[in-house]
Amino acid sequence: SATAVIEQLDLKTPGVYCQGLVLHCGDGSVWREETLDRETAVDVITFVEAQQLPYLVYDGARILASSENPYRHLLHKKYHEPLPELAGPLLPQVDDLRINKFLISDERSNDETRARLETLVNGRATVTQAVPEYIELLPHGTSKGKGLALLLQKLGIPWEAVLALGDGENDLEMLQLAGVGVAMGNAAPAVKAVADYITLSNNEAGVATAVTRFVPSPHE
């Protein structure tokens, strides 16, 4: 989803994407990428298919769906991600995939399914939730905060120089580590609780408001 913005702004700077799982160099090449191990991926696919739950798989630059489901289009229309490809059954393809993360949905009870997934992976993966519709399952020990920490270390930039903005559970660590942690106006209460500052919502130019407040202009 960041590709269009990067191209529009002609950005040539390093970046952290996909929940901190993919770190790009300034030239667009991948410096570091985190993936789920095969056993965990097989266990998760087997579970969600047995439960007949819609799910999506992030495979490098691609997003895959095993079959048509409304959450495929929701990801594209509401969250501006590329429309996931219809790839057919994914279990037979698992050895050919680099699975960065899963998005899993259960319209009956995401809370119950999240608890069952946490029991299933038993510490082998991280289960989190950034938006209401999707449970996210990531490689163990990964997060936006950890991905950003690796990039900062590579670039020699201290956390004190970082302005971080977020609105979901997956942003907590990053906001706590940053020199200035900003919660969006629409952020979850837990995110607002750890923030240094609360800006306007996503739909009210909250990011621009925070950047204007905390980032000096080149002429200052």
State the pLDDT at residue 198.
Answer: 98
Per-residue model confidence (pLDDT) at position 61:
86
Rounded Cα distance between 128 and 114, Å, is 8
Q: Which domains does the chain have, with CATH numbers?
A: 1-32+144-156 (no CATH), 38-139 (3.30.1240.10), 158-220 (3.40.50.1000)
Residues whose CB falls within 8 Å of the CB of residue 180, separated by 6 or more in sequence, listed in order: 162, 163, 164, 196, 197, 214
Question: Quick one: pLDDT at residue 160?
Answer: 96
pLDDT of residue 29: 85
Here the tokens at position 115 are: 């608890």
pLDDT of 1 reads 58
C-alpha dist (Å) from residue 85 to 38, 64, 72, 181, 204: 21, 5, 9, 35, 32
φ/ψ of residue 151, rounded to 5: -70, -40
Write the CA distances from 44 to 84, 94, 129, integer angstroms.
19, 11, 16
- Please report the pLDDT score of residue 58 as a whole number: 97
Model confidence pLDDT, tens digit, residues 88-141 = 999 999 999 999 999 999 988 889 999 999 999 999 999 998 888 999 999 999
| Nearest alpha-carbon partner for 159 in 173, 180, 178 | 178
Residues in the chain: 220
Residue with tokens 């030239």: 27
Which pLDDT score, from 0 to 100, does residue 219 have?
Answer: 61
3-state secondary structure 76-123: HHHHCCCCCEECCCCHHHHHHCCEEEEEECCCCCHHHHHHHHHHHHCC
pLDDT tens, per residue, the chain with 220 residues: 567 777 787 778 889 988 899 998 878 788 899 999 999 999 999 999 999 999 999 998 899 999 999 999 999 999 989 999 999 999 999 999 999 999 999 988 889 999 999 999 999 999 998 888 999 999 999 999 999 999 999 999 999 999 999 999 889 999 999 999 999 999 999 999 999 999 999 999 999 999 999 998 766 5
Q: Residue 132's closest CA among 90, 86, 176, 74?
A: 74
